Every structure is written in structure tokens, then in C-alpha cells.
Amino acid sequence: MDGFVLRRDDRQGAIRPALNEKPAIPGQFLQRETPTESTPVSNELPRPTGAGISKTELSESLRALDNEPPVKKKRFGWVTKKRVAIFLITLLIIVGGYFGIKIFLTSSKLFSGNIFDLLGAGATLKTDEYGRSNILVFGTSEDDPGHQGANLTDSIMIVSLDQKAKNAAMISVPRDLWVKYGEACSSGYEGRINAVYECGAGSNENERAGAEKLMSVVGDTFGIDIQYYAHVNYTVVRDSVNAVGGVTVEIDSDDPRGILDRNFDWRCKYKCYYVKWPNGPAKLNGDQALALARARNASGGYGLGGGNFDREQYQQKIIIALKDKAASAGTLANPVAVSGILDALGANVRTNFSAGEVKTLINLASEMPSSSIKRVSLVEQGKAVLTTGNVSGQSIVRPIAGIYNFSEVKRFVRSKLTVSATNGEEPSIQVLNGSDFGGLAGKKAAELTAAGFNDVSTGDTDTDSAYGEYVWYDLSGGKKPQALTKLKSILGTSPTGTVLPGGVQSDADFVIIVGNGAN
């Protein structure tokens, strides 16, 4: 090897070679065999005894190294569990802060009180004498450019809640219901109920004053103590439905084709349908839900023969479907959906709820199944208390008993909202005057109402001496046993029969005919 010189140990006492003396070469470096003519000459280096590698082996090793894939450098070597955890925590803080700020800003627009009450158990809602909390929900169209009568409340609804029993009832108020305003308004001292809010708000458009005026008139008309209101516009319907990914509403028209209303198709130059579905479940986006909530066959179509009354029923269905979708686990776990709901509410809803009361509403919404929400119709066939009419050439809605006579309407509404004396059986009772004296049926009806029966109506029938003081009939078919027991206790006798006398007609569960003997 170059530069390698063998030396002897030069320690003291060692023998050193003379300068001309050749050093001994270790045996492993000596050539053992000299090639001859019979021995082929190899290109390989002499292989030392007991060690070393041949040239061929070295070449093969080098070739193997050339063919070996290069060692890849680790990408993202900076990623560690600790750094991932820090990133996720930071992300959660940012998202939480975003929603916290958003909720704070939305809350300041929606309700009064301390926003942090939303984190508590909630505040007890105000109630009426029957323990129910009544909310007036009404809509205006000031967010619809070019809409005439933007401050008219074309959608009015009463939502009545029972916090303890966890049930609710929804009653739509016809926009054309003719009422007295109690003061001079732009349209006079009386008119359609949809002008009450505008009258109360005045020329300076005082939203709170308008809402309180409408609460007062609706409350007096229907005999309800209304504690709260929610004022919404078109946008909240469309944006809320879109935020939850659409809602499904059951179409149940009496037309076998379903429903069609082309009143809104001008938006797509009549190349599409906003309201056209067969009977059955219909999946609606925000624009379709808003169109259905406004549909009443104003521009032709089919399946909405009830006009405004049909529209009110579909409005109730949309609200229930939206409530179910918004309260579902999938929606609440979706940040995009929650953000969309907050945007829709914050800019388009005004109420007189406090933050703590809103928390109670949220809890009720999550705990109350749709089966516990009763949809009440004031024009149900066979039980209608309202009808259409005409005042000075104007088409209106009025009580069947006569214009301004809301006594039967109040009694009907109370029967649907208050707890019955018969544990939820809700029997209907009609008291007919079969005597020669006026007022006897009303007196007996008042006794039954005082005893806890809510759905009690009166009427007249032909006089018959066989009635005596009174006779009564059970037409319930055995479906109202508790009501039957209660009536036996009050009247002191068993039913006279299960079939009405000839010439007497009624759709009630129980019929009482008062005779001359009751005078």
C-alpha cells in the first residue's frame, strides 16, 4: 500500500534492521503461486489468505449499490402529535370565538337581557290563567322590493305553549278577518286585521308599538292573553330553510293532481314551477318553501281551492318541518348550518323575548315532538267558526255568528288551548233549546263550561213537550268514556239514548236538549 513502511519496534532494547536490509513481508501479501502456461491468467487481484474480497465481488457489490433505490427523505417531518394537538386546539378556539361573537351580535338584535343567560337553565315563560305561554307570530314584506303594502301583516299566527306538559297549538289568523281597531287608522275605525300593525306603528314606523297593538287586538278577538311576539319577514323563511338543507312538507290537496300556483313563476320567465307538487311528501328549498307559504291560487292553478285558508295550513306545516330540522342532531353539529340559521334570524326577526326566555324556548323545541304540536283550523268542515262575507264591496272573513260576534270563536279557541276536564279527550257538547223560552240553552252551556268542559256550543231545535227539563244523548260511540262519566255526574242521569230524535241534527259528541221544564 502506498506510503506504508514496515518498521520494527524501536523501543529501547529492540533490534533495528540495517538500512540495506530488506524488511520481512508478511505471508498474506506474498504471491503463493506463479502462473504457468497451463494456468490461465486472471484479471483478479491476488486474494490474501483468510481475508479480503476479489475484484469481481467488489464490482458486483458496486453494481448492487447502483441498483438500490435511494433512501427517501421524510416529508412533513415537522408533524408531531403535540403540534397537531396545538393546531386543533387553536382551530377550536378560533371557531368558538367566531360563533361566540356571532351569537352575541345576533342576540343583541333578537332579544333583550343578558346574553349569558343563554348558557343557563333558562327563565320561566310568562303564562296566562291556564298556564300557557302565547306567542303572536306575524310577518311583513318590507324586504320584498316593490311589494305594495309592505307593512301589512299578511301572515298572522298564534302559537300557544305549555311548558310543563310540553305541548303546543298553532292557530292561523285570517288576514282578512274584519275587526274593530279601537282608534282611528288610515283605513278608519274598523277593517281587516292585517292593517292593525301598520296602524299601531304609525307614520314613524315604531315596530314595538305596532306589535303591541296587534297583540292587543288579536288577544281581544280570540279571548287569549298574549305575552310575546315574533315579527318576521320573507327572508327569514327562505334563508332558514336553506340553512338547514331544505324541509319536507306533506302535500294533501283534495285535487288528485296535487297543487299548482303559477303566481311566482315570472321569476324564471315561466320556464319553471315554484309551486307544483303531487300529493305526498315534497322536499322544498328556501325559495320553494317561501312560495308555498304565499300560494293561494291567485294566478290560477289547482289544489288550493281554500285560498288563504289553504295557505295558512301550509304555513303551519313549514314551521313544524323547520323546527324539526333545525333541532335535529345533524343540523346542530353542522357549523355551516348553525351559522346560516344565526344569519337568517339575526337580520330578520324582532321579538320581546329575553335571553333566558329564549333558552327555555330552545329547550322546549328540542324536547317537544311534532306529535305534541296541534294544528287548529278555524274553518274545519263541520266545526267552522269563521266564514267569508262582504263589507262595502270588500271580501272579508267574519264569525259565523255574525260580524263582530266572536263569542263562539273565543269558546272554540279556549277549548283547543286549555286543559279539558276530561284529561285530553276534548269532547264536543252542543246544548239545544227545545223550549218556548229563550236563553235556557246558554244557561246550561255556562254550567258545563264552569265544570271544565271547553268545547260547548248552543243552538235551537223544535219545541217538544217530551223533553221535560232536558234529555241528552251520547253520540261519541264509546270513544269519550271520561267525558261520559263526568256528564253523568253533572246532569245526574244516564244518557237518554245514542240516536237523536227525528228532525234533530248535530255533529257533537254529546247533545243536550233543554225543554220547558228547565224554565
- Does 10 reside within a domain? no
More confident residue, 396 or 519: 396
CB–CB of 398/389 below 8 Å? Answer: yes
pLDDT for res 391: 93
Q: Average pLDDT in the 280-302 region?
A: 90
Query: Can you tell me the distance from the alpha carbon of 448 to that of 446, in angstroms, rounded to the nearest whole number?
Result: 5
More confident residue, 159 or 95: 159
Among 352, 374, 406, give the residue marking a domain's end. 406
Among 408, 430, 418, CA closest to 374: 418
Q: Average pLDDT in the 482-507 region?
A: 91
Check which CATH number belongs to the domain holding 457 and give it.
3.30.70.2390
More confident residue, 514 or 110: 514
More confident residue, 447 or 55: 447
C-alpha cell at 415: 277549548
Query: Can you tell me the distance from the alpha carbon of 130 to that of 420, in angstroms, rounded to the nearest whole number?
Result: 11
Q: Average pLDDT in the 363-379 region?
A: 87
Query: Can you tell me the distance from the alpha carbon of 177 to that of 193, in angstroms, rounded to the nearest whole number?
Result: 6
- Does 26 reside within a domain? no
Q: Work out the pLDDT band at 43, boundaries 50, 70, 90.
A: very low
| pLDDT > 90 fraction of the chain, expressed in percent and rounded | 40
pLDDT for res 199: 94
Beta partners for 187? none
Chain position carrying cell 498474506: 28
Are 426 and 398 in the same domain?
no
Q: Work out the pLDDT band at 52, boundaries 50, 70, 90.
A: low
Q: What is the mean pLDDT of the chain?
A: 81
Check which CATH number belongs to the domain holding 142 and give it.
3.40.630.190
pLDDT for res 38: 45
Q: Is the pLDDT of residue 234 over 80?
A: yes
Are 345 and 464 in the same domain?
no
Are 363 and 453 in the same domain?
no
Give 112's DSSP letter.
B
Lowest average pLDDT, out of 195-204, 214-223, 323-332, goes to 323-332
Query: Can you tell me the distance from the alpha carbon of 270 to that of 263, in angstroms, rounded to the nearest whole number?
Result: 10
Q: Average pLDDT in the 438-450 region?
A: 87
Strand order in the sheet with 167-173: 349-351, 228-233, 133-140, 155-162, 167-173, 373-376
CB–CB of 189/327 below 8 Å? Answer: no
Judged by phi (left if over 0) then psi (alpha if -120 to 50, else beta), residue 53 lies in beta
Query: Can you tell me the distance from the alpha carbon of 105 to that of 493, in angstroms, rounded to the nearest whole number?
Result: 64
Q: Work out the pLDDT band at 131, boundaries 50, 70, 90.
A: confident
Q: Is the pLDDT of residue 378 over 60?
A: yes
- Does 50 reside within a domain? no
| pLDDT > 70 fraction of the chain, expressed in percent and rounded | 72
pLDDT for res 473: 95
pLDDT for res 259: 95
Q: Average pLDDT in the 35-43 region?
A: 47
CB–CB of 142/234 below 8 Å? Answer: no
Long-range contacts of 437-446 (CB under 8 A, 24+ apart): 437/516, 437/519, 440/514, 440/518, 440/519, 441/514, 444/470, 444/512, 444/514, 444/518
Q: Is the pLDDT of residue 41 over 50?
A: no
Give 354's DSSP letter.
B
Q: Average pLDDT in the 16-28 region?
A: 52
Residue 275 CB contacts under 8 Å (≥ 6 apart), including other chains: 259, 260, 261, 262, 263, 264, 288, 291, 292, 295, 301
Q: Is the pLDDT of residue 70 over 70?
A: no
Are 313 and 442 in the same domain?
no
Half-sphere exposure in the Cβ direction for 80 (13 Å, CA): 4
Domain that holds residue 92: 81-110
Phi and psi, residue 286, nearest 5°: -60, -45
Query: Can you tell me the distance from the alpha carbon of 185 to that of 197, in angstroms, rounded to the nearest whole number?
Result: 10
Q: C-alpha angle 491/383/494, rounded to 5°?
A: 20
Beta partners for 497? 473
- Does 351 reside within a domain? yes
Domains held by the chain: number: 3
Q: Which helix (H) or strand (E) holds 178?
A: strand 178-185
Are 101 and 115 in the same domain?
no
CB–CB of 468/496 below 8 Å? Answer: no
C-alpha cell at 287: 325559495
pLDDT single digits (tens) 77-130: 555 666 666 666 666 666 555 555 555 556 556 666 666 666 667 788 999 888
pLDDT for res 293: 93
Are 204 and 332 in the same domain?
yes
Are 433 and 498 in the same domain?
yes
- Does 465 reside within a domain? yes
Are 331 and 396 in the same domain?
yes
pLDDT for res 454: 77
Among 372, 406, 440, give the residue marking a domain's end. 406
Are 246 and 206 in the same domain?
yes
Q: What torsion do the CA atoms of 177, 178, 182, 184 make, to the nearest 10 degrees?
A: 110
pLDDT for res 371: 83
- Does 124 reside within a domain? yes
CB–CB of 181/194 below 8 Å? Answer: no
pLDDT single digits (tens) 491-500: 989 999 999 9
The pTM assigned to this predicted structure is 0.64
Among 357, 373, 406, give the residue marking a domain's end. 406
Burial class (CB in 10 A: 0-12, 13-18, 19+), 218: buried
pLDDT for res 42: 47
Query: Can you tell me the distance from the alpha carbon of 490 to that of 439, in angstroms, rounded to the nearest whole number?
Result: 20
3-state secondary structure 20-59: CCCCCCCHHHCCCCCCCCCCCCCCCCCCCCCCCCCHHHHH
pLDDT single digits (tens) 310-361: 999 999 999 999 988 887 766 666 666 666 676 777 768 888 988 888 888 8
- Does 360 reside within a domain? yes
Are 474 and 390 in the same domain?
no
pLDDT single digits (tens) 402-433: 999 999 999 888 878 865 455 667 789 999 99
Are 315 and 286 in the same domain?
yes
- Does 76 reside within a domain? no
Lowest average pLDDT, out of 162-176, 227-241, 306-320, 334-348, goes to 334-348
Are 229 and 367 in the same domain?
yes
